[in-house]
Amino acid sequence: MSYTTKIKDEIALSNEEYQKPEIIAETCGFIRNNNTITKGKIILTNENLNIINRITNHMKILYQKNVQRDVIENLNFSKKELYQITIIDEDNYILKDLGILDENNKYLDNPPSYILDDMETIKAYLKGVFLTTGSINDPKTSRYHMELLISKPEEAIFVQRLLNMYELNAKILNRDKGYMIYIKEAEKISDFIKILGANNAVLYYEDIRIYRDEKNLTNRLNNCEQANTDKIVHTASKQLKDIKLLEETASLSLLDDKCMQVVEYRKKYPEASLKELAEIISKETNKKITKSGLNHRLRKIKELAERIRKNQKS
């Protein structure tokens, strides 16, 4: 079972007590994004029987309607069957009551404001939209992604606006068969699942997200530590090459005693960082030397080696 299916099942099977305005808003969101309207009939389809049962129950509560239910073949190359319900709607009473058609039987681009007049009805509307057209990637996958596929541009813009009332940073992409509203930020997706009221799905999502974040942080720290180690080894290798050149050209005598001491300790501790080497010299000689002081002496060694290389080329 996919993560999306688990979320939709949790919503569809919820025992949460709904007020009538919220039932209207959810049903409106569902039907506006999933319908075939013929004369006197509203036909709805979905792969999830629990969702079909929920919408059927809403129809009974709102309009005392018994609906015709059928199982039909899914033509989208899926093995799952589609469940279809047919609602008799003489004179388009239901569609007008849900704010889908106006009094002249013309399609309304957006629901009337009285359908969504508070935050609870807005949440319910988004729930209805998600139940029919939404999906959320399992957080165990490589990327975080939530999307709603909507056919009409006005509806897509309207739903995006509702989502962004909650600062979810939802965006729209034009697709061949409509418009995809999507969210890619993990925290924003988690907030959206909370809006849907799928509390178990939120807990699962947050557990996986926190685990992934901690794992990524550990990897970054390990990579940073490895990069620092590589840098130390590379720097020490260059210093040892300078020292070797001075030895091969009998030029060590050109260094003062302090620099000669650094030569001795660098050869003795070839993998030590500057900080570690300064601490070792300070401890073994009982003479304090800072990392900055050590770097200054190594720079004098390097400058002498560079002069010798330059003379060798000329």
Parent domain of 157? 3-197
pLDDT for res 82: 86
Burial of 182 (0-12, 13-18, 19+ CB in 10 A): middle
Task: Indicate the number of domains in the chain.
Answer: 2
pLDDT, mean over the chain: 87
- For 55-59, 219-223, 258-262, which range has the lowest pLDDT when averaged over its residues? 219-223
- Residue 40 placed within a domain: yes
Looking at 197, 221, 255, the residue that finishes a domain is: 197
The 10s digit of each residue's pLDDT in 264-294 is 888 888 888 888 888 888 888 888 989 888 8
Same domain, 128 and 17: yes
Instruction: Give me the mean pLDDT over the 190-212 stretch.
Output: 88
CA distances from 34 to 27, 45, 177, 287 (A): 10, 7, 14, 81
| Res. 228: pLDDT tops 90 | no
The 10s digit of each residue's pLDDT in 82-103 is 888 888 887 888 999 999 988 9
pLDDT for res 76: 61
What pTM did the predictor assign? 0.68
Residue 133 pLDDT class (50, 70, 90 cuts): very high
Q: Which residue has the higher pLDDT, 133 or 269?
A: 133
Residue 79 pLDDT class (50, 70, 90 cuts): low
Same domain, 237 and 182: no
Burial of 280 (0-12, 13-18, 19+ CB in 10 A): middle
CATH number of the domain at 105, please: 3.10.28.10
- Residue 223 placed within a domain: no
Q: Which residue has the higher pLDDT, 145 or 35?
A: 145
Same domain, 165 and 308: no
| Res. 77: pLDDT tops 70 | no
Residue 78 pLDDT class (50, 70, 90 cuts): low
| Res. 183: pLDDT tops 90 | yes
- Residue 278 placed within a domain: yes
| Res. 245: pLDDT tops 80 | yes
Question: Are 101 and 35 contacting, i.e. CB atoms less than 8 angstroms apart?
Answer: no
Same domain, 35 and 169: yes
Same domain, 57 and 104: yes
